[in-house]
């Protein structure tokens, strides 16, 4: 097995960004606000999105020449961690994933067209899953056929995060036997193409996308394998960042309750079956965060990061799902209620666990990468 | 090439050239299982040789025999010793627990007297904390030290004293205030073992090896200047010792304390061991387990790196150091348990069997892995510490 390195680079810039983001998310996303947004149609607060854009976050990884902040995916992930912690409802992650796809695979004209819009606050997302539920992004049923400069699309995409609020969609299709991405401006999408889907994490809005017979200029297609790889990598890193934040958040909720609730004349947090489980979750959080910032370091330096990303995703999503599960149990009857915040975290944990591959999936891929 | 790079090259070459010849007896796995004179003499000579080459205590002050260099140099030596799998150095309690303690809070006289001989292995140190009736609950210590003019008279018993048979000094926790209970009334001694009235009785371990003793004190008179700090400060000093022991505080002299089998050794084993007639590494369930261990191992290594970046530890600055023993000792125990699983039908063989893998070292290593999940504070106590001090949960 090739030796793995243990590098973590955390620049002053990232540390300032982290501080700002921690304060921002705490202020903008108190649990009351999270709950208010659950019932709303769009699922997020446009005023908060505008503030994030003004802070340069929507374009954080977009080069300065396209109006962005000129930083990397590592900084994008650094901000995503506190977002996860406070369950901030935002199309941020989808937008960042789309940005990485455009940076990796789009040609100069496509970049010049899309990236400045996103830097100014346009919302973007990727449509890469289909109803079969395959995590291998290159297994695509949808197609594009080009005739006379027009691409005609066909097929159904599913689990498209933030599709109903997005300005830009990147949908994966097969073009002449190879994967490609179609850049779709949602303003030009005929009505009825998006069908809202019901998903476990109610802080998010998902939709299916009907591509049947949709015509686009052929110049709206991104070809070559780089964009899909970038989507996978960004998806894994941002899901890990959100999960790390989520573990810390749900651990706080649990520890607070364990320090307040009494049973048999003492605080329930003094019972070891509860407190030792919390200690184990903390251990999992520490390991997950270390994997996160290592994977971010490799991504930012454009070094091979597949092993680091898969490890980070596997570890963090398992720990988060376990932490959410235990949070319910440790709240007793209250844990079974809608009003208990533990359920919000468990829902988020399960959404993240099954986004871009769950832990067993990544361990199987890692086995091939590491064990031959 | 930086200074450190050229130093690494130098150290690598030195260990290659000076590695001691393979002995014709089985070496123990760690400083805790040094059970025969043969083993002890071999390991002590090895430590002296490393020290004389300048590769131990490199970051300790020169006036006491140290190297006066940045810690990074010692870290390189430790890493190189691990990498080349050279034998460990036996005086761990002196090098890594008592030594840093003496340097941190000892008097000038104590530093002059003890530090150099700790490094050279001239004086072996042991630790007298646990007692037959009190282990986890250290504050219940009952061994008495009664002041008598310019001496203290010791009575009682300690147990699980690693290196007790070979030690010249013991870091000792004893009760100086008669009738006191718990934390108050405890004092800390640097106790000479070759004192009439102190006797050690070897105890056989679950592996069949020796290495620790029960230590009896019967009216043993030690000079009053063996007291470290003042009377009544014993608890505080014992806690400080444990932070060195658990690796939660730096300042150790270095060297390695065990011949650790790690996850990469387990990967090699998985290629040779067979299950269902095929290499174990091809079994899908074994693969999943191996990857879990690799993720965890890499997670702990990365966590060590992250611990050096304060901006990534702001929320709970003690989380990494205080969880370190729990994380790594439990990981090792489960890893070695799994190493037996990999061996399938051959797993239940034991040391000495001709068909066992590598002389049965895996079976022995699994059993010995409990030394870290029990010794130095059990995992249950470590989990309490993490839950209470890092997460702020209430005491039991
Ligand atoms: C190989 C080895 C070497 C050692 N070397 C030394 C040495 O050199 N010097 C020295 O002083 N000591 C040494 N020890 C002793 C070691 O520190 C103690 O064994 C350890 O602290 C546990 O104490 P105990 O054996 O009395 O177990 P006990 O305290 O009796 O514990 C028994 C069980 O109860 C659990 N338990 C106890 N209290 C609690 C609690 N509050 N909550 C939950 N569970 C609890 C423990 O986790 C354990 O599982 C060594 C031990 C080993 C195994």
Range B51-72 average pLDDT: 97
B60 Cβ contact list (under 8 Å, min separation 6): B66, B67, B68, B99, B103, B115, B119, B253
Whether residues B213 and B291 fall in one domain: no
Whether residues B77 and B150 fall in one domain: no
pLDDT of the residue at A339 = 97
Percent of chain B residues past pLDDT 90, beyond the cut: 94
Q: In chain B, what residues touch A18 (CB-CB under 8 Å)?
A: 311
pLDDT of the residue at A176 = 96
**Rounded Cα distance, A251 and A245, in Å:** 10
pLDDT of the residue at B250 = 85
Considering only alpha carbons, which residue of chain A is nearest residue B281?
Answer: A371
Whether residues B206 and B144 fall in one domain: yes
B308 Cβ contact list (under 8 Å, min separation 6): none
CATH of the structural domain A228-371, one choice from 1.20.1740.10, 1.20.140.10, 3.40.1080.10, 3.40.50.460: 1.20.140.10
Whether residues B77 and B159 fall in one domain: no
Touching A: B residues 260-319, CB under 8 Å = 264, 267, 270, 281, 284, 287-288, 290-292, 294-296, 298-306, 309, 311-312, 315-316, 319
Which of A81, A287, A308 to mutate: most B Cβ within 10 Å? A287
* Contact (CB, 8 A) for A167 and A186: yes
B396 contacts A8? CB cut-off 8 A: no
Q: Which of A54-58, B26-30, B235-239, B337-341 has the lowest mean pLDDT?
A: B26-30
Q: What is the pTM of this model?
A: 0.95
Ligand 1 mean position to B131 CA, how many Å?
Answer: 10
* pLDDT for residue A113 is more than 90: yes
Q: pLDDT band for position B83 (50/70/90)?
A: very high
Q: In chain B, what residues touch A364 (CB-CB under 8 Å)?
A: 287-288
Domain's final residue, options B214, B245, B276: B245
pLDDT of the residue at B260 = 83
A286 contacts B380? CB cut-off 8 A: no
Closest CA of chain B from A262, distance in Å? 11
pLDDT of the residue at B1 = 63
Which of B304, B323, B391 to mutate: most A Cβ within 10 Å? B391
**Token pair in block for residue B18:** 């000076």
Domain's final residue, options B76, B100, B122: B122
* pLDDT for residue A1 is more than 80: no
Closest CA of chain A from B6, distance in Å? 20
**Token pair in block for residue A306:** 């597949």
Ligand 1 mean position to B375 CA, how many Å?
Answer: 6
The CATH number for B94's domain is: 1.10.540.10
**Rounded Cα distance, B378 and B136, in Å:** 7
**Rounded Cα distance, B180 and A48, in Å:** 61
Q: In chain A, what residues touch B315 (CB-CB under 8 Å)?
A: 248
A252 Cβ contact list (under 8 Å, min separation 6): none
Per domain, the residue ranges of chain A are 2-123, 125-226, 228-371
Give CA torsion, residues B356, B361, B365, B368, to 10 deg: 100
Whether residues B73 and B142 fall in one domain: no
Q: In chain A, what residues touch B311 (CB-CB under 8 Å)?
A: 10, 14-15, 18
The CATH number for B210's domain is: 2.40.110.10
**Rounded Cα distance, A119 and A45, in Å:** 18
- Residue numbers of the domain that contains B326: 263-390
Whether residues B130 and B205 fall in one domain: yes
A248 contacts B315? CB cut-off 8 A: yes
Residue B192 CA to its chain's centroid (Å): 21
pLDDT of the residue at A237 = 98
Is residue B255 situated within a structural domain? Answer: no
Which residue ranges have their beta carbon within 6 Å of ligand 1? A 272; B 32, 126-130, 135-136, 160-162, 212, 371, 374-378, 380-381, 384, 396
Give CA torsion, residues A131, A132, A135, A136, to 10 deg: -120
B291 contacts A367? CB cut-off 8 A: yes
**Rounded Cα distance, B207 and B368, in Å:** 8
Q: In chain A, what residues touch B396 (CB-CB under 8 Å)?
A: 270, 272
Q: What are phi and psi of B87, to 5 degrees?
A: -60, 155
Range B239-260 average pLDDT: 89
**Token pair in block for residue B352:** 């000495």
> pLDDT tens for residues A289-302?
999 999 999 999 99
Closest CA of chain B from A217, distance in Å? 45
ipTM, two decimals, is 0.96
pLDDT of the residue at B259 = 84
Placement of tokens 């964009």 in the chain = A227
Tell me the average pLDDT of chain A. Answer: 97
Is residue B396 situated within a structural domain? Answer: no
Is residue B171 situated within a structural domain? Answer: yes
**Token pair in block for residue A102:** 């455009």
Picking from A269, A283, A370, the nearest residue to B291 by CB comes out as A370
Whether residues B70 and B12 fall in one domain: yes
Which of B133, B139, B160, B245 is the pocket-test mutation for ligand 1 (most atoms within 8 Å of CB)?
B160
* Contact (CB, 8 A) for B96 and B257: yes
Domain's final residue, options B245, B274, B308: B245
Whether chain B has a CB inside 8 Å of the CB on A2: the answer is no
* Contact (CB, 8 A) for A319 and A288: yes
Q: Measured from the CA of B371, which atom of ligand 1 is nearest?
A: 1
Number of structural domains (chain B) is: 3
A367 contacts B287? CB cut-off 8 A: yes
Range A174-184 average pLDDT: 97
* Contact (CB, 8 A) for B190 and B142: no
* pLDDT for residue A371 is more than 90: yes
Closest CA of chain B from A21, distance in Å? 13
Which of B94, B124, B135, B396 is the pocket-test mutation for ligand 1 (most atoms within 8 Å of CB)?
B135
pLDDT of the residue at A345 = 98
Burial profile B54-85: b = 16 or more Cβ within 10 angstroms, e = fewer = ebbbbbbeeebbbbebeeebbebbbebbeeee
Rg (CA), chain A: 21
* pLDDT for residue A18 is more than 90: yes
Ligand 1 mean position to B136 CA, how many Å?
Answer: 5
* Contact (CB, 8 A) for A85 and A27: no
Whether residues B222 and B148 fall in one domain: yes
Ligand 1 mean position to A271 CA, how many Å?
Answer: 20
For the question of residue B245 being annotated catalytic, the response is yes
CATH of the structural domain A125-226, one choice from 2.60.110.10, 3.90.550.10, 3.40.630.30, 2.40.110.10: 2.40.110.10
Q: What is the CATH number of domain A2-123?
A: 1.10.540.10
Side-chain half-sphere exposure of B392, counting CA atoms within 13 A = 11
Q: In chain B, what residues touch A269 (CB-CB under 8 Å)?
A: 387, 393-394
Which of B271, B295, B329, B392 to mutate: most A Cβ within 10 Å? B295
**Rounded Cα distance, A35 and A38, in Å:** 5
Range A146-161 average pLDDT: 97
Considering only alpha carbons, which residue of chain B is nearest residue A279?
Answer: B387
Q: What are phi and psi of B289, to 5 degrees?
A: -65, -45
* pLDDT for residue B55 is more than 80: yes
Placement of tokens 């949070």 in the chain = A327
Whether residues B71 and B171 fall in one domain: no
Q: In chain A, what residues touch B395 (CB-CB under 8 Å)?
A: 270
B299 contacts A293? CB cut-off 8 A: no
Helices (H) and strands (E) in chain B, counts: 12, 10
Q: Name the closest-CA residue to atom 16, ligand 1.
A: B375
A267 contacts B394? CB cut-off 8 A: yes
Whether residues B233 and B146 fall in one domain: yes
Range B241-245 average pLDDT: 94
């Amino acid at each position: 097995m090739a030796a793995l390195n243990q590098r973590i680079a955390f620049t002053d810039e990232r540390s300032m960004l982290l501080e700002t983001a921690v304060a921002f998310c705490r202020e903008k996303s108190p649990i009351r606000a999270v709950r208010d947004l659950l019932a709303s149609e769009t699922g997020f607060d446009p005023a908060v999105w505008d503030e994030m854009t003004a802070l340069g976050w929507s374009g954080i990884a977009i080069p300065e020449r396209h109006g962005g902040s000129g930083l990397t995916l590592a900084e994008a992930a650094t901000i995503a961690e506190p977002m996860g912690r406070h369950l901030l409802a935002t199309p941020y992650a989808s937008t960042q994933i789309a940005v990485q796809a455009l940076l990796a695979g789009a040609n100069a004209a496509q970049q010049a067209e899309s990236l400045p819009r996103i830097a100014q606050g346009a919302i973007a997302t990727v449509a890469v899953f289909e109803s079969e539920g395959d995590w291998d992004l290159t297994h695509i049923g949808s197609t594009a056929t080009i005739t006379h400069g027009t691409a005609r699309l066909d097929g159904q995409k599913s689990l498209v995060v933030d599709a109903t609020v997005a300005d830009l969609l990147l949908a994966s299709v097969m073009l002449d036997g190879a994967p490609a991405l179609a850049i779709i401006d949602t303003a030009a999408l005929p009505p009825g193409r998006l069908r809202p889907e019901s998903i476990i994490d109610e802080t998010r809005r998902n939709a299916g996308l009907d591509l049947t017979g949709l015509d686009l200029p052929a110049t709206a297609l991104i070809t070559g394998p780089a964009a899909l790889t970038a989507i996978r990598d960004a998806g894994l890193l941002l899901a890990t960042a959100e999960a790390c934040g989520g573990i810390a958040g749900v651990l706080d909720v649990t520890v607070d309750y364990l320090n307040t609730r009494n049973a048999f004349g003492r605080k329930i947090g003094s019972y070891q079956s509860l407190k030792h489980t919390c200690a184990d979750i903390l251990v999992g959080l520490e390991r997950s965060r270390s994997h996160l910032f290592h994977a971010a370091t490799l991504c930012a330096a454009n070094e091979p990061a597949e092993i680091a990303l898969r490890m980070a995703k596997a570890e963090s999503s398992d720990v988060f799902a376990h932490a959410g599960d235990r949070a319910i149990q440790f709240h007793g009857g209250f844990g079974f209620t809608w009003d208990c915040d533990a359920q919000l975290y468990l829902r988020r944990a399960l959404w993240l666990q099954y986004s871009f591959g769950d832990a067993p999936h990544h361990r199987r891929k890692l086995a091939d990468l590491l064990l031959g | 090439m930086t200074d450190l790079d050229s130093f690494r090259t130098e150290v690598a070459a030195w260990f290659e050239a000076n590695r001691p010849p393979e002995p014709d007896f089985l070496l123990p796995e760690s400083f805790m299982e040094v059970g025969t004179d043969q083993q002890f003499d071999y390991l002590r000579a090895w430590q002296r040789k490393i020290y004389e080459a300048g590769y131990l205590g490199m970051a300790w002050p020169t006036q006491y025999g140290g190297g006066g260099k940045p810690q990074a140099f010692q870290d390189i030596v430790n890493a190189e010793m691990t990498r080349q799998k050279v034998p460990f150095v036996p005086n761990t309690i002196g090098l890594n627990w008592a030594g840093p303690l003496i340097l941190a809070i000892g008097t000038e006289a104590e530093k002059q007297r003890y530090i150099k001989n700790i490094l050279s292995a001239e004086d072996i140190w042991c630790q007298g904390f646990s007692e037959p009736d009190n282990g986890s609950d250290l504050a219940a210590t009952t061994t008495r030290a009664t002041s008598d003019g310019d001496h203290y008279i010791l009575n009682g018993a300690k147990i699980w004293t690693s290196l007790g048979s070979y030690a010249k000094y013991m870091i000792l926790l004893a009760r100086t205030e008669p009738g006191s209970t718990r934390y108050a009334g405890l004092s800390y001694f640097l106790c000479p073992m070759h004192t009439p009235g102190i006797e050690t009785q070897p105890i056989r371990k679950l592996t069949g090896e020796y290495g620790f003793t029960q230590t009896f004190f019967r009216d043993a008179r030690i000079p009053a200047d063996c007291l470290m700090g003042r009377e009544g400060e014993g608890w505080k000093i014992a806690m400080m010792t444990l932070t060195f022991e658990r690796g939660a505080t730096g300042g150790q002299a270095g060297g390695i304390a065990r011949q650790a089998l790690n996850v990469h050794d387990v990967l090699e084993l998985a290629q040779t061991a067979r299950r269902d007639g095929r290499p174990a590494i091809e079994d899908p369930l074994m693969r999943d387990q191996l990857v879990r261990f690799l993720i965890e191992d890499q997670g702990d290594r990365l966590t060590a790196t992250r611990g050096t970046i304060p901006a990534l530890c702001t929320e709970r600055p003690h989380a990494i150091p205080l969880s370190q023993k729990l994380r790594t000792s439990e990981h090792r125990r489960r890893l070695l348990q799994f190493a037996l699983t990999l061996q399938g039908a051959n797993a239940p063989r034991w040391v000495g069997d001709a068909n066992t893998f590598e002389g049965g070292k895996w079976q022995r290593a699994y059993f010995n892995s409990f030394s870290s999940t029990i010794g130095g504070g059990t995992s249950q106590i470590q989990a309490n510490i993490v839950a209470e001090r890092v997460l702020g949960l209430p005491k039991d």
